[in-house]
Structure 1
Amino acid sequence: MKKYFSILRKNPLFSDIAEDELEKMLGCLSASIKDYSKNEIIFMAGDKIDKVGIVLCGNVQIIKEDILGNRNIIAHVDVGQIFGEAFVCAGAEKLLISVMAGANCTLMFIDYKKAIYTCDNSCVFHHRLLENMLGILARKN
């Protein structure tokens, strides 16, 4: 995961978090990395999600499909950007959109619940991470 630190450091979610804390944080948040092929569905409308995604390589598209199956791209998420945070923070029962790989991509997923609730280790970075998440949500909404 260290090879992605330069990308993560530019993401507002990790603002004001020291690099040595970043490695501990990713472990605490059960961060995982997964590769997707172009046009592969990452999340489908109707899914319930509990993870926030960060684009490490490539890009993803947030799409809305109508009843006839026509797709409208409503957002394009590039390297270093976050997606899914509004849905997981809102506790949405199901997604109203789909997320699709716009190109071959590598994504990191972090467990939302582990991000907002303090762990048994009482990690110092949890409060900063929560402040950063609230800032992201406020700016987007």
Structure 2
Amino acid sequence: MNPLIFNLGRCTLFGGIKVGELERIFGSVNHRISFFLPGELVEEQNAICDEMLVLLQGQTKAQMQDFSGRVMTIETMEAPSILASGFLFATENRLPVDIVSTAKSAILYIERDGILWLCKEYEVFLRNLLRNMGDRLTTLAEKVWMLSLNTLNQRLANFLLRQSDDLGDEFELKTTKEELADALGVARPSLSRVFSEFVAQGLIKQDGRQIRILDRAALKRISGHTV
């Protein structure tokens, strides 16, 4: 067995399945592993999704491009994780995004029939898959809500508040300004300007990627939350 498959033990999709069972599983289901360099296209928008994609190594991002050519990053995924799980069993099973490798990456492809077999053989796998799909729907809903905010100030304030809810009032940005600008649907210079405004107004302290929330109440007012 390819040693990369043992990374599945750390993937939530296979949580609760003993490593020893992986040999049986991958002796029974059709699968393949493909490798990608940074910047390579893994799957393109509108491609038919008839295999489960599991990121075993590296990092990818999902992007959408509008008619004006503007590219928006929907999400960034790090190994080990599942890519586009919600589209495999959709009536219109086409990917709505481009999936691009952002590091040296290895991706496991499992045919749809193999996923159905796993769901029948391992109840824990079925539960993990349904949980993943639910979590992805929640993430998508949050993304849509954030993009519905009218101003960049609102979007950035909301982003910083959500980060601090998870990580505390002092945390490190996991992405570059360029990547964050893509995720918020704006140009990088505009994002840098709003960061500078927040610092000047005493709302946050910034040192490189290190952020400290100084005035949570003000950020909540900007984001539209009730203080």
Q: State whether TM-score is above 0.5.
A: yes
Letter in structure 2 aligned against 1:34: S
Alignment partner, residue 24 of structure 2: 24
Give 1 or 2: higher strand fraction. 1
Structure 1 position 5, deviation (Å): 4.5
Q: Is the 8 A contact 2:50 2:93 kept in 1?
A: no
* Unmatched segments (≥5 aa) in structure 1: none
Higher deviation after alignment, 7-16 or 109-118 = 109-118
Q: Which SS does the other structure have where 1:61 is aligned?
A: strand
Alignment partner, residue 124 of structure 2: 128
Residues 56 and 118 (structure 1 numbering): CA distance in 2 closer, same or farther, change over 3 Å?
Answer: closer
Deviations 1:23-61 (A, max 9, x none): 211232312111012111111111111111111221111
Q: Is the 8 A contact 2:118 2:126 kept in 1?
A: no
Residues 91 and 113 (structure 1 numbering): CA distance in 2 closer, same or farther, change over 3 Å?
Answer: farther
* Unmatched segments (≥5 aa) in structure 2: 138-227
Query: Residues 38-77 of structure 1 correspond to what in structure 2 (within 5 A)?
Result: 38-77=38-77
Alignment partner, residue 218 of structure 2: none
Letter in structure 1 aligned against 2:126: L
Structure with bigger gyration radius: 2
Q: Which has the higher contact order (CA 8 A, sep 6+)?
A: 1
Letter in structure 1 aligned against 2:57: C
Q: Is the 8 A contact 2:118 2:125 kept in 1?
A: no
Alignment partner, residue 115 of structure 1: 115
Letter in structure 2 aligned against 1:130: L
Give 1 or 2: higher helix fraction. 2
Q: Is the 8 A contact 2:6 2:19 kept in 1?
A: no
In 1, the alpha carbon distance for the partners of 2:69 and 2:51 equals 26
Q: % of aligned pairs identical?
A: 20
TM-score w.r.t. structure 1 length? 0.85
Letter in structure 2 aligned against 1:42: V
TM-score w.r.t. structure 2 length? 0.55
